[in-house]
Each structure stands twice: as C-alpha cells, then as structure tokens.
Amino acid sequence: MTKKVIFPMTRVHEPLRVDVDIQNGKVVDATVGATLFRGFEIMMIGRDPRDAALLTQRICGICSSAHAVAATFAMQQAFRLSPTLNGQHIINLIFAADIIQNQIRHFYVLAIYDYLKGPNMPPYTPRLEGDYRLPQKLTDELMAHTKEGMLKAMRAHEMLAIFGAKIPMQQTILVTGVTEQASADRISAYLGILQELTDWVENVYLYDVAVLADYYKDYYTIGSTKGNMISYGMFPQPITGKREFPSGVIFEKGKVQPLDTSKISEDIRHSWYQDDQETRNPIEGTTVPDRNKAEAYSWIKSPRYEGYAFEGGPLARAWISGEYQRGTGVMDRIITRAQETLKICRMAQDWISQLVPGGPTLSKYAVPMQGEGAGLTDAMRGPLGHWIKIKDSKIVHYQIVTPTAWTFSPRDNQGKRGPVEESLLDTPVANTEDLIEIGRVIRSFDPCFTCAVHTIDAPEHKPPMTL
C-alpha cells in the first residue's frame, strides 16, 4: 500500500490537505482536511446585526455576495421584515452575477488544466504527467477559450458592480433591499452585459464542457458519491418568497423529499473544536477552537442531515429539480455547473424585465431588541446557512455552515465519511507521483479554500510537487 499526502492542494481557494491510501492502482482510503481556521463566528459577537452582511463577505472573495445574501435572510427572519419588490429582484441580480462569474472562473481558471496540456512555458509548467486525451487542435481551441473565460468572468463582476457598487464584497445589500436605484441606465447596462454573457455561455462554455466530457467518459463514474443531495433553494421571488431553485433532499438517488431544517446538525468528532456535545443544530452551535484535539484533522465541522453526509451544489440542484439525473461523478458536476450557468443567465433576463424604474428599493426599519433567524440559501457550491441570535440589539450568537463544509466534511462520530472523502474511494491512479486523477475529482466539487500556494516539499525532501 502507498500512502500519499497532498498539501497544500492547489487551484482551490484555501489550504487543503488530502491523505490517500493507494493499493493496486486505486484509492482505498482518503481523508481531506481544511488547515485554515476562520473564526468569523467569534468576531460577530457583540456587533450590530447590520454588520453581518458586510463583514461575513470577507470569508471569501470568490463568492462574497453569497454571504451577504445569507446574512440578510437571517436578519429578515430575526427582524420579521421583507424586502421591497425592486430590492429583492436586485439582490437576485447581484447574486446571479456573482454565481455566473464563479462558474466561469471555476472551469477556465481552476479545473480545465487537469485535462489540457498547455504550452511548455509558465504558468502551464511545471505540469503533472497524465492522460491528456484531447487532440492538439481541440487543445489549442480550448486553451484560447481559457483567456476568453477570464475576461467573461471579469465582465460578470462588472455587471454585479452596477447594482452592488463594487466587487468583491459588494456594498449595497441591506435587510429590506438595496441602496442602489433601479434607474434606466443601470438596467440597460446590466442587460447589455448579461446578453453578452448569455451568448458566450451558450455557444462557448457549454461547447467546451461537451468536448471535455466526450473525451473523458469514464469520469462520469470516477468521483461518484452515494447520491445524497441537499439544497436550501435559491433566488426567492418578491411577495410569494417562492424560490426559483427549489429546496429539498434526496437520499441515495431516490425521490425528492421536503427539507426540514431541524434535522441539520454539525458534528465535531474529527474537527479541531471542543464542546460538551459532539453534535448540535447550528442555532445552538459553538466555535471553540482546540488545535491539539486528539483524532481531529480538519477545521471544518461535519454538517449532517438526519445523521448522513450530503452533497450540494449545481449537481444537487439539478437532481432535486429533476432536470439532470444521469449520475454523481466528476463530469456530472462539470456539466451541470455549465448548464446551470445558462439557466441563471436566462432567469436574470426575466428578473431585470420586472424591475420598476424609479421604484423603491428599500423600506425603513429598526434593529429589534431581540430576535432569532436562520438565513438559508444555496450558493455557488451548495447550501449556505447563517444562524443569528440578537439580544439588546447586538449579536449574541452567530454560526455559519458553508457549502464546502457539507462536501469536504471530515468523518463524524459514527465514522461516516464526508462526500469528497467518499468520492475519492476507488479512484484509479496511474502514477502515484503525480496523482492527477485525485485533482480532477476534488476540483469537480469547486472547493472554496482561499489562499492556497502552489508547491510543496514532500517529507522525503523530493523536489516541489505541483498539483
């Protein structure tokens, strides 16, 4: 048996450690651990609740608006308020733009280089050896599209800033809407970029994904999970509150069941935290770090639903909506992410047509003396939850459960692996020095681990290894 440690994993958004045991050319065991302590839950205590939508965005620059949305939903529930019609539509438009840029950036900046052999020059070298299957003509075509992809992701950010003022960390979302007005010039500017992105996603992004899937058909099976899927839903509509993407859960590729948030828990058996209870619902959760805890190997807790690990993200949303139920492998994630990007582009065109130019985007409100709320929304990578308690108009409790916590969770107190650990089992490995197959599986989940560096010194003092 060969044991390999990949640390830090690169082309992800935070230091990630992956330990795998390989036997007879396949992964037989795996653990994944986040090595960065966040601690925003601690920082929020004692602050004005209105700070939450601004400060929690600093958790991540690639998906910052998702935290603004979740924090705002939590405050809406705690304050017992609803946004204005224009306000809700614009929140959705801001969020949609951020999701579009994220999906494009994931494929063209983080994932595609696991499959394309670029030119023999930095930043494409040094590269891993592996089965780069595309013929040179298609490789050159897709490599050209990577440059376009970077520019289109930038355009999506520009689109977001029309109503969000800046990005990352937009500045306009508040409890009852947004501070920016739905003026004719803003509507026109947003729509112009949106039409450009819609055309490009439909004609280039989806084409590139189809090409990749055609040459890597075995990756429909590689990286599969058990098929436990979860979604909080996404993009509530004004007045009705009905979400464009429905919430729900699926057990092992079965039928969609209603989401019951009381069944959500976090387990800390193998996480660097201490508590007199190993498992709690986030509304009662704690954040007490313990770096020397025995058996722990991650700063991520283990979110569970009815005690089981669940995958979220575009693939889960597609399964729950019934739009895609082919499988749960690497290519399934890549394909549904691209398909969802086009779907969101088209939804945003509908929302912007419903804006009332000059109509109110905010309503007055005051911070209550006390309150409690759960802000649940799906985000780029899956279910995102913010739980808040307010006393004397200050935050006394704040817990955040991110999408990456769901997918990259460590084992729980029952020994159940998280979805990514499960997906790595049986992954074929052709070369134990390069492990390109491991990178393909992990990056298909679009892990949000910020601040990764790009080389490691192996314990045997071998030359730096890039993954």
For the segment 85-114, what is each residue's pLDDT rounded down to a tens digit? 999 999 999 999 999 999 999 999 999 999
Q: 253, 328 in Cβ contact below 8 A?
A: yes
Lowest-pLDDT range of 207-216, 227-236, 441-450: 441-450
Provide the token pair at 175: 């409890």
For residue 130, give the 3-state DSSP assignment: coil
For residues 4-30, average pLDDT: 90
Q: What is the pLDDT of residues 403-431, one digit of tens each?
A: 999 999 999 999 999 999 999 999 999 99
Neighbours of 161 (CB within 10 A): 19
Nearest to 338 by CA among 59, 124, 192, 152: 152
Q: Determine the Cα–Cα distance for residues 172 and 61; give it in Å rounded to an integer.
A: 16
Q: What DSSP string describes 33-52? A: EE-----HHHHTTTS-GGGH
Nearest to 443 by CA among 128, 16, 1: 16
pLDDT at 462 over 60: no
For residues 285-297, average pLDDT: 95
Q: Which pLDDT score, from 0 to 100, does residue 450 have? A: 45
What domains appear along the chain, each with residue ranges and CATH number?
2-445 (1.10.645.10)
Provide the token pair at 146: 């990577």
Q: Does 133 or 453 have the greater pLDDT score?
A: 133
For residue 348, give the 3-state DSSP assignment: helix
Q: 298, 272 in Cβ contact below 8 A?
A: yes
Q: Which pLDDT score, from 0 to 100, does residue 467 have? A: 40
* pLDDT band, residue 385 (cuts 50/70/90): very high
What value does the mean pLDDT of the chain take?
Answer: 94
For residues 359-380, average pLDDT: 97
Q: Which pLDDT score, from 0 to 100, does residue 258 have? A: 99
Q: Which pLDDT score, from 0 to 100, does residue 13 have? A: 62
Nearest to 207 by CA among 119, 121, 114, 107: 107
Count H helices and E strands in the chain, helices first.
12, 16
Q: Determine the Cα–Cα distance for residues 8 and 453; give it in Å rounded to an integer.
A: 7
Neighbours of 219 (CB within 10 A): 24
pLDDT at 463 over 80: no
Q: Determine the Cα–Cα distance for residues 176 and 367; give it in Å rounded to an integer.
A: 12
* pLDDT band, residue 11 (cuts 50/70/90): confident
**Alpha-carbon dihedral sign for residues 235, 440, 331, 111:** positive
Identity at 92, one-letter amino acid code: N
pLDDT at 452 over 50: no
Nearest to 193 by CA among 302, 349, 386, 405: 349
Q: Which pLDDT score, from 0 to 100, does residue 460 have? A: 46
Q: What is the pLDDT of residues 36-91, one digit of tens each?
A: 888 899 999 999 999 999 999 998 877 899 999 999 999 999 999 999 999 999 99
Q: What DSSP string describes 392-419? A: TTEEEEEEEE-HHHHHS----TT-PPPH
Neighbours of 48 (CB within 10 A): 11
Neighbours of 309 (CB within 10 A): 25
Q: Which pLDDT score, from 0 to 100, does residue 457 have? A: 36
Place of tokens 């491991």: 438
